[in-house]
A and B are shown apart, each in its own frame.
Chain A
Amino acid sequence: GAVVSQHPSRVICKSGTSVKIECRSLDFQATTMFWYRQFPKQSLMLMATSNEGSKATYEQGVEKDKFLINHASLTLSTLTVTSAHPEDSSFYICSAMGGRSEAFFGQGTRLTVV
């Protein structure tokens, strides 16, 4: 399968700071990338869908000013958690999709806000 690299795998930040998470498709062009959030022992909840070169589409209840998504190229999307608070602590996962109906997932980023 195709490879999606997500970085960093773990990050701890202070409350009030911003954190950027990168998602890269290494061997294919990702026309669409998705960002998910997963709480312990719960399923993945879609936060937003981004297409290269256009604004992301956010799911209901997700603050777009807090979770900034940029999809500037066909191989890179970034999620920036702005002014992070402890309740933003979670497991964030990206997935990337090219021309097939198959999404490949990154390894996830565990964010802890202290």
Chain B
Amino acid sequence: QKEVEQDPGPLSVPEGAIVSLNCTYSNSAFQYFMWYRQYSRKGPELLMYTYSSGNKEDGRFTAQVDKSSKYISLFIRDSQPSDSATYLCAIVRGSARQLTFGSGTQLTVLP
């Protein structure tokens, strides 16, 4: 079983829609969860990270962790064409704080 699995998409939504991106993870010991955005041929950039469970909000973005179901989500409100990118969830593991990434969901927001 993979440590983290992500809905592969691709996902296409109209501008202004609410986007829901989801991942599941296998090890209940994981505590830190990250969401990265990656534009084509660029390195990933950190959007948000959460520790343990609950919600975290930053502007139009909300990250949510449900530890009981080992489920992490990223919600994007009022989506914009500039949000079109690949979104990667990641878990932080080990004392070296290595990242294990999900497969990524390619999102297209249509104007």
A97 interface residue per 8 A CB criterion:
yes
Specify which chain A residues have a CB less than 8 angstroms from the CB of B28 in the assembled complex.
Answer: none
Specify which chain B residues have a CB less than 8 angstroms from the CB of A19 in the assembled complex.
Answer: none
Query: Interface majority SS on A: helix, strand, loop or mixed?
Result: strand
- Total interface residues on A, CB under 8 Å, equals 26
B61 interface residue per 8 A CB criterion:
no
From B14-22, B64-72, B77-85, B98-106, give the one contacting chain A. Answer: B98-106
Say which residue of A32, A43, A91, A107 sits within 8 Å of B96 (CB atoms): A32
A43-B43 CB under 8 A given contacts A97-B97, A101-B92, A102-B49? no
**Size category of the binding interface on chain B:** 20 to 34
Specify which chain A residues have a CB less than 8 angstroms from the CB of B46 in the assembled complex.
Answer: 1, 102-105
A110-B101 CB under 8 A given contacts A44-B88, A104-B46? no
Specify which chain A residues have a CB less than 8 angstroms from the CB of B104 in the assembled complex.
Answer: 42-43
Binding site for B on A (CB under 8 A): 1, 4, 6, 32, 34, 41-44, 46, 49, 51, 57, 91, 93, 95, 97, 101-108, 110
- A99, B43: Cα distance in complex, Å: 21
CB distance from B8 to the nearest CB of A (A): 9
Specify which chain A residues have a CB less than 8 angstroms from the CB of B103 in the assembled complex.
Answer: 42-43
- Indicate if the CB atoms of A107 and B42 lie closer than 8 Å: yes
CB distance from B29 to the nearest CB of A (A): 15
A44-B32 CB under 8 A given contacts A34-B99, A49-B98, A103-B97? no
- In chain B, residues 47-67, which have Cβ atoms closer than 8 Å to a Cβ of chain A? 49
- Indicate if the CB atoms of B96 and A108 lie closer than 8 Å: no
